């Protein structure tokens, strides 16, 4: 079992930045790929980014490329998502998730989920 707790969400103006963090506990953190997803009100949950066990490989959704950066610290059992140049359409609840697969982008590839953190971007 892996427990995940997100933090760092909040209200920011368009063009601003936020850094989301996810703290993991339970099983060996470095055994898992870690992903970020987001879900806007009334919409399906969508893939944002994923990072491999070692942190050596990353993958981003098209809307995140060039603006978001995923990173992890296996010594601290944390994964982060730095979000820059935020837009109102980035408003959503952001979730971190853990997977035993390599760089999955589909929801079904993830076994553990956090409760989410709200990000609101005002125009």
Q: What's the pLDDT tens digit per position in 66-83? A: 999 999 999 999 999 999
Positions of the chain with pLDDT lower than 50, given as ranges = none
The Cα–Cα gap between 122 and 91 comes to: 8
The Cα–Cα gap between 24 and 60 comes to: 21
Tell me how many degrees the CA angle 27-111-120 measures, rounded to the nearest 5. Answer: 105
Predicted local confidence at residue 59, as pLDDT? 96
Predicted local confidence at residue 88, as pLDDT? 98
Strand partners, 49: 36, 60
Other CB atoms within 10 Å distance of the CB of residue 30:
14
The Cα–Cα gap between 59 and 106 comes to: 12
Predicted local confidence at residue 103, as pLDDT? 87
């Amino acid at each position: 079992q892996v427990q995940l707790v997100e933090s760092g969400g909040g209200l920011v103006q368009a063009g601003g930045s936020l850094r989301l963090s996810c703290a993991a506990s339970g099983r060996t953190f470095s055994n898992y790929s870690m992903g970020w997803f987001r879900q806007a009100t009334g919409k399906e949950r969508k893939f944002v980014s994923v990072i491999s066990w070692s942190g050596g490989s990353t993958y981003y959704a098209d809307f995140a490329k060039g603006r978001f950066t995923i990173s992890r610290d296996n010594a601290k059992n944390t994964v982060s998502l730095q979000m820059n140049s935020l837009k109102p359409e980035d408003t959503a609840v952001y979730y971190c998730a853990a997977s035993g697969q390599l760089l999955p982008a589909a929801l079904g590839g993830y076994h553990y989920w956090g409760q989410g953190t709200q990000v609101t971007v005002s125009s």
